[in-house]
A and B are shown apart, each in its own frame.
Chain A
């Protein structure tokens, strides 16, 4: 994956569990800090989660903004936050990896499908959960590039 989209500054490892909305806020803050989105986008991320969960199965959640908040994306990027104990996404679902997505225009779909391709394989998800280096996370997510 392009370094501009995902690099070591976009990854947080081994965080303690916290409530879902705080975890999403953390993912959002990282997107803001690294210059991908403005603050407004984070509101769109919380709204998206409240209206329809971004938990997609296999212990993965992919927080992103509602379509009308896409205009607050400055450039495409993703951030990855690893929670070894998981974040409670309701209905018995725990997300161990949160992948925040800011995809500008058509890049949204490309990024999303490439992440989904990787996270469909439980083996890849297990490796993401157990990764102890940021470089490992980058390498695993790069497996989805077509």
Chain B
């Protein structure tokens, strides 16, 4: 198992386009992927699950992967979040 804490920093948070991009990426991995905010965890491959967490800018989440490609999955998801989903940074 691999897990990583990360703060979402893109302007719109993890919904709409960023949520779709996130799910498109998670779908490519075989590992079981979970995203946790506070005490709620959801399947990171479900867009409705992710939307239900209401992750806005500045929210800390934990990514958890378990399976054959867990390392790569977490690395790439962290990269997507850190890159602000290609939104560009308004700072």
Contact = CB atoms under 8 A, between A and B. Distances in A.
Name which of A56, A116, A117 has the most chain B CB atoms within 10 A of its CB.
Answer: A116
Given A57-B47, A120-B46, A112 B20 contact: no
Interface residues on A, range: 20 to 34
Contact residues of A: prevailing secondary structure: helix
A79 interface: no
A109 B48 contact: no
A67 B47 contact: no
25 contacts: A48-B16, A52-B16, A53-B20, A56-B47, A57-B47, A57-B48, A58-B48, A67-B12, A109-B13, A109-B56, A112-B54, A113-B15, A113-B51, A113-B53, A113-B54, A116-B48, A116-B49, A116-B51, A116-B52, A117-B52, A119-B48, A120-B42, A120-B48, A120-B49, A144-B52
Given A67-B16, A113-B54, 4 more contacts: A52-B16, A52-B17, A57-B47, A106-B56
